Structure formats: structure tokens, C-alpha cells
Chains A and B, each alone.
Chain A
Amino acid sequence: MTVTLTRPGAPAQITRVNDSATMVRVDGLTKRFPVRRGWMETIRHPVARQHATALAGVTFTVERSEFFGLLGENGAGKTTLFKILASLIVPDAGTVTVNGLDVVKDSARVRGLLAPVIADERSLNWRLSARENLRLFAALHNLHGAAGEQRVNELMEITGIADTGSKMVGQFSSGMKQRLLIARALLSRPSVLLLDEPTRSLDPLGARRFREFLRDEIVARQRCTVLIATHRAEEALELCDRIAILDRGVVRAVGTPTELASRIVGERYYLWTLAPSHPALACLAAQGTVTNVVTGERDEDGWTRVQLEIPGGPRTASDVIAALAAEHMPIASFERVRLPLAELIERIVANRGTVMADA
């Protein structure tokens, strides 16, 4: 038996970034760090050097006012990348520009444009109040007198820490400290905000509120370009316009979660049928038109849920439905489901041999 599709599936098109709208450009970024060796190894080979690669030819771009996520496991290179962007670490090779300014050659001007929230809460002055912490950094950002005071008041209102009074930061909750770190980063009205795992110390409710704050205030009102490094897939899915999957210092994929899902694993669907072992479905699976077919639960009326993936996008999916219907397979429902981002990342990381970056 042969099932023929009316139209062959076309590969998903990835939207390329318009160069004129590019805020951050990372091109061929490479960074290696020396590895500390043991005493015996050092005595045996005193001159030899060992290096660990943190970033290997990382390339991507971020548009103005875009919410861009960097996802990857611990040690993937996210923090190193952020520190290079913040001109705290010098890269070995490659270039990084922020609004056209090179982060190495124009580091002082870049620091005026970009605000990192990469230091943890210990970088706050715990013996000072939130206001005094902000006053100090306002001065370091050249905001003096009434202008500085006004900005401090404004940010304390925005971030919801205005009522903390003279309470020392050491007595704040993690969520409050996180808000203060954000307020501190926003003092200079940055064009680009770097957030390194901003919700790691927050409880689920606090994390949700914080994400709402980022979406509504930072992006919608302040129009910041935001790069967020996280290993929380749901966070990236909720906030990010596009994501990059970073794995062992290499960008494995860049795109919207939907794009990546369709490029890498195709679309996932649930099919409710009375005949989960229908030959038409088996044939499509054998042809590779549908993949990862998993027969699931069967309800009391005899309908079985079959999970399947269809590479090639929605058109191929509609052709699959038509082909199954033509073969009289009893189908009650055929619904598209979103592939969990965590599973997507897992698949991309598992498929290390293929680099899928589009930038």
C-alpha cells in the first residue's frame, strides 16, 4: 500500500534579521579559559597550558526592542557571553557590537548603552537601603542632584520597592533584591538589558510576577532590548520573541520556539482514532512522513489518542489528514499541540552533530 501526499512538505522559512534594526551583533565569538592543573601535572609539564572552550564561534543578532533568550544547560557559555557583552571579559576571537559599537574598542560607550544584571544579590550593598544603593549607582552613572534623585524615585516606584524606606537591603527577600538589581540596571536608561537567570532565586509566584514586570514594564514601556539567559524553558517561552540554544559554547539553533520546533522536530499532533494500528498510518510512518508515533490512552468509548510528529509544516499536516481520511481511517479529532521547549532543547542538544543556527 502506498499513500501519496498531494503536496510535498516545504522546509520552514526562518525570518532573517534586518541589519538596520540590529541592536546586538555577535560574530564568530570565541573564548577559552585556562584550566587549573594539578601540582604533579604542573611539575611534569611546567610550560604546557590547557584550555577549556567556553564559546566557539558564536554568531547571532538581536533586533531593537526584541526579547531574546539564551537557553542552555549549566556551563553552556551563557554567562561568559554576557560578560563579554558587558566588556568584563575580553574575547579571544570574533566581534561583538552593541548599536554598532565594538564592546572591546568602545567599551566605555557600550557601558553607557548596556546594563547587565549578571552579578548576584551579593553585589548589592546589604548595609544600605535600596534608595542609598540606587543613589550610589546613579552617581556612578553620572546622574547627579535633582535628576539623579528623580530617576531613583521613578525606578523605586516602577520596581515596587518605594515603600522599603530605610530598611537595609540585607533584610530584603530575594524577590525584592532582584527588583533592586533591575532598578539599578535601569538607572542609566539602557538600550540593552542583560539578565542572567533573573528568577533563579524566586518562588514560582514571585517568578511569575517578575516575568510580568519584565514584559509589561521593561519591554512594553521602556522599549529595552532584552537578552535573557535562562535554563527555564517556560520562562523563555513566555517572554522571548526568539531564542538561541547554546550548548557547550556553540549556538545550536536560533529562532522563535515555533520555528525551531517545526525545523527540528516538525509539528506535534494528537490524533484521536478508533484504529490506532490502521495500515495507512503505519505506511506514512514507514515513509517518514509522520514520525515518533506513540499510541497513548484509550477512552471508555474506544477512542485512542495517538501522538505523532509531522515534519514539513501545516500543509504537510493537512495532506496527512486528507490521506488518512481517503484511506477511511476513523478519526474523531486531529489537534496540533505545542512541543514543550524543554523537550525541544533536549533534542537539539542530543543532535550536536548538526549546527542549526540561522544568524
Chain B
Amino acid sequence: MHKIFALVRASWLVGASYRMAIITSFGSLIVTVVPVFYIARALQPMMGKVVQGQGGDFFGFVLVGMVAFMFIGIAVGTLPGIISGSVSSGTLEAYLTTPSSLPTVLAGLMSYDFLWSFARAVVLVITGAILGAHIAWGKSLLAIGILALIVLSYLPFGILGASLMLWFRTTGPLPKAVIGLSGFLGGVYYPTHVIPSWLHSVSSAIPLTYGLRALRRVMLEGKPLSAVAPDLGILMLFIVGLCALSVLAFSRALHDAKRTGSLAQY
């Protein structure tokens, strides 16, 4: 934990040295959420019934979708970005010459992005609540737990992307495909039951579908853990399967990178 904390601290100090970026990072949230509020309010008469099973408030529905979507973007995109940047700069090589394990180093480097996103998510939710979204604050811990499971179910895509980065120096279309499909078919801006039936099978193969449904029911309706257990069970299956696959791929990619000497080829 000391090492992860040190890496988070260093990332924070670097992040804090870009003051304008910090201001715009939070400022952009406000700029985004206010128009969403007005659009959602305008659509409420039509969408209220559609989202009845997930809170009934369309603004709250979209707000929670935005929070989850922000996290899956981090889960999928951060690790390949870290690998790409640190290989190019030579910092990965420097980290690997210390007695710290690669998983520890990567966890430390990623943690900052997740903590930063968490801070942004809190601001987003509070702003949403101020604008009128009904949030079940009493279920915050359970909601954070579900959010963590959503992240864990998408982290394997990030690990796969990092493996591709080690092998080919590019992730190809993987992150965009995963994020795009999840955005359109995972129920971020509308519930999955309104999408055409022939796309339902694709939607049911997306972890976000289950995670987001559970998250909304907890955050917006205040449902207990037992009510969302089936969705979380499916999410867990995704996590186990995808984690095994991605860890295998990454181990192989790292071994190949050490064999071909590409860990520090700028």
C-alpha cells in the first residue's frame, strides 16, 4: 500500500502542477450536467414511463449513466495509456528496475485516475442532486460497491488493451469499440429494453447492462442488495471470466516484450 500511495501522491503532484487542467476538469462537469438537466426535464413526460423500473426520473437515470460511463472510460483507457506513455518516456523501465512488482506499479499509476474520477463523480452527483435528482444517499456505500464491480468488469478490457499495446504499440479499435458498444447498448442514456429486439442479445453480453441496472435501482430507488443480487451475480461472472483471459494475455505480452526487448523501445 505504501508504494501505491507513493505513486498516487506523485501523480497528484503532477496533476496539481497543471492548475488550469484541474479547473477545467471540474468546470466541464457543470457545463455538461446543466444542459443534460434541461433536456432530461423536457423529455421526462415521454421517458418517465420508460425508466419506471429504474427510478422513474429521467434526469436521475441519465446522471447515474454518466457516472458509470465515466468510470468505464477510465477502466478501459487508462492502462493502455499508462503503458504507452511510460514505455515512450522510459519510466516503465525505471519502475521495473525497482524491487516493486509490475501489478503494484500499474495499480499505483491507475489509482490516481480512479480517485480523480471518483472526486468528479461526487461533484457530478451532488450537482445533479442540487438540480433535483433524487439520490438515495443512505445506499451510498452499496452504490460505491456496485460501481467498483462495474470498474472490475471493464478493467480486463483495459488489461487486454495494455497487452495489445505491448505487442503492437497500439490498442487498435478495442477501447473505442468497448466504450462505444457499452454506451449505445449498455443502457447509459436509455434503458436496454427500448432498443430493437435483434440487438438485445448484444446488449445482454455487455457487463454495463447489468451493473448499471443494479446501480440505478440502488442509487435512485434505494433498493437493498438482495434486490440487485441477480444482476451482480452476472456481473461477477463477467469479472471472473474476463479477468482470467486478460491476465493471461498480459502475462504473455509482458514475457514477449522482455524477450524482444520492446519494453523501452521509444
Which residues of A are at the interface with B, using a C-beta cutoff of 8 A?
31, 33-34, 80, 83, 86-90, 108, 111-112, 115-116, 118-120, 122-123, 125, 127-128, 132, 135-142, 144, 168, 184, 188
A57–B100 Cα distance when bound, in Å, is: 31
Which residues of B are at the interface with A, using a C-beta cutoff of 8 A?
2-3, 5-7, 9-10, 13-14, 17-18, 89-91, 93-101, 105, 255, 258-261, 263-264
- Inter-subunit contact A136/B89 (CB<8 Å): no
- Inter-subunit contact B17/A116 (CB<8 Å): no
- Inter-subunit contact A111/B93 (CB<8 Å): no
B258 CB → nearest A CB, Å: 5
A184–B10 Cα distance when bound, in Å, is: 15
The number of residue pairs between A and B whose CB atoms lie closer than 8 Å in the complex comes to 92
Top-3 shortest CB links A-B:
A139-B6, A123-B90, A119-B90
- Inter-subunit contact B98/A122 (CB<8 Å): no
Closest to B101 in A: A108
19 contacts between A and B (CB under 8 A): A33-B261, A89-B259, A90-B259, A111-B97, A111-B98, A119-B90, A119-B264, A122-B90, A123-B89, A123-B91, A127-B14, A127-B17, A132-B10, A136-B7, A136-B10, A137-B94, A140-B7, A140-B105, A142-B99
The interface centre, meaning the residue of B89, B97, B105 with most chain A CB atoms within 10 A of its CB, is B97
Would A88 and B14 be within 8 Å (CB), given that A108-B99, A123-B89, A140-B6 are in contact?
Answer: no
Would A33 and B260 be within 8 Å (CB), given that A122-B90, A139-B6 are in contact?
Answer: yes
- Inter-subunit contact B99/A127 (CB<8 Å): no
- Inter-subunit contact B259/A88 (CB<8 Å): no
Would A140 and B3 be within 8 Å (CB), given that A123-B91, A128-B14 are in contact?
Answer: yes
- Inter-subunit contact B96/A125 (CB<8 Å): no
> Given known contacts A135-B10, A139-B6, A141-B100, what 9 new A-B pairs fall within 8 Å (CB)?
A80-B261, A87-B97, A88-B96, A116-B97, A122-B90, A125-B10, A128-B13, A137-B94, A139-B2
- Inter-subunit contact A141/B98 (CB<8 Å): yes
- Inter-subunit contact B13/A132 (CB<8 Å): yes
Closest to B89 in A: A122
Please, which residues of chain A bring their CB within 8 A of the CB of B14? 125, 127-128
- Inter-subunit contact B98/A140 (CB<8 Å): yes
Please, which residues of chain A bring their CB within 8 A of the CB of B95? 140
- Inter-subunit contact B258/A123 (CB<8 Å): no
B13 CB → nearest A CB, Å: 6
Please, which residues of chain A bring their CB within 8 A of the CB of B7? 136, 139-140
A132–B11 Cα distance when bound, in Å, is: 11
- Inter-subunit contact B6/A136 (CB<8 Å): yes
Would A123 and B260 be within 8 Å (CB), given that A108-B99, A142-B99 are in contact?
Answer: no
Among candidates B3, B9, B94, B261, residue contacting A83 with C-beta atoms closer than 8 Å: B261
- Inter-subunit contact A127/B2 (CB<8 Å): no
Would A112 and B6 be within 8 Å (CB), given that A88-B263, A132-B13 are in contact?
Answer: no
Please, which residues of chain B bring their CB within 8 A of the CB of A116? 97
Please, which residues of chain A bring their CB within 8 A of the CB of B100? 140-141
A222 CB → nearest B CB, Å: 18
Closest to A138 in B: B6
Would A127 and B259 be within 8 Å (CB), given that A122-B89, A140-B98 are in contact?
Answer: no
A83–B7 Cα distance when bound, in Å, is: 24
Please, which residues of chain A bring their CB within 8 A of the CB of B9? 136
Please, which residues of chain B bring their CB within 8 A of the CB of A108? 99, 101
A111–B96 Cα distance when bound, in Å, is: 9
The interface centre, meaning the residue of A33, A119, A128, A132 with most chain B CB atoms within 10 A of its CB, is A119
Among candidates A80, A90, A141, residue contacting B99 with C-beta atoms closer than 8 Å: A141
Please, which residues of chain B bring their CB within 8 A of the CB of A88? 93, 96-97, 258, 261, 263-264
B46 CB → nearest A CB, Å: 48
A313 CB → nearest B CB, Å: 42
Please, which residues of chain B bring their CB within 8 A of the CB of A111? 97-99
- Inter-subunit contact A118/B13 (CB<8 Å): no
- Inter-subunit contact B90/A90 (CB<8 Å): no
Please, which residues of chain B bring their CB within 8 A of the CB of A120? 90
The interface centre, meaning the residue of B6, B94, B261 with most chain A CB atoms within 10 A of its CB, is B94
Please, which residues of chain B bring their CB within 8 A of the CB of A123? 89-91, 93-94
Please, which residues of chain B bring their CB within 8 A of the CB of A184? 94
Would A115 and B260 be within 8 Å (CB), given that A136-B6, A144-B2 are in contact?
Answer: no
Please, which residues of chain B bring their CB within 8 A of the CB of A80? 261
A245 CB → nearest B CB, Å: 23
Please, which residues of chain A bring their CB within 8 A of the CB of B18? 127
A184 CB → nearest B CB, Å: 8
Please, which residues of chain A bring their CB within 8 A of the CB of B96? 88
B32 CB → nearest A CB, Å: 27
Please, which residues of chain A bring their CB within 8 A of the CB of B90? 119-120, 122-123
Please, which residues of chain B bring their CB within 8 A of the CB of A135? 6, 10
B136 CB → nearest A CB, Å: 39
A114–B13 Cα distance when bound, in Å, is: 29
A180 CB → nearest B CB, Å: 12
A168–B17 Cα distance when bound, in Å, is: 10
A34–B7 Cα distance when bound, in Å, is: 34
- Inter-subunit contact B94/A119 (CB<8 Å): yes
Please, which residues of chain B bring their CB within 8 A of the CB of A122? 89-91
A118–B97 Cα distance when bound, in Å, is: 10
Closest to B15 in A: A127
A331–B25 Cα distance when bound, in Å, is: 84
Closest to B5 in A: A139
A39–B6 Cα distance when bound, in Å, is: 45
- Inter-subunit contact B17/A137 (CB<8 Å): no
Please, which residues of chain B bring their CB within 8 A of the CB of A90? 255, 258-259
Closest to B265 in A: A33
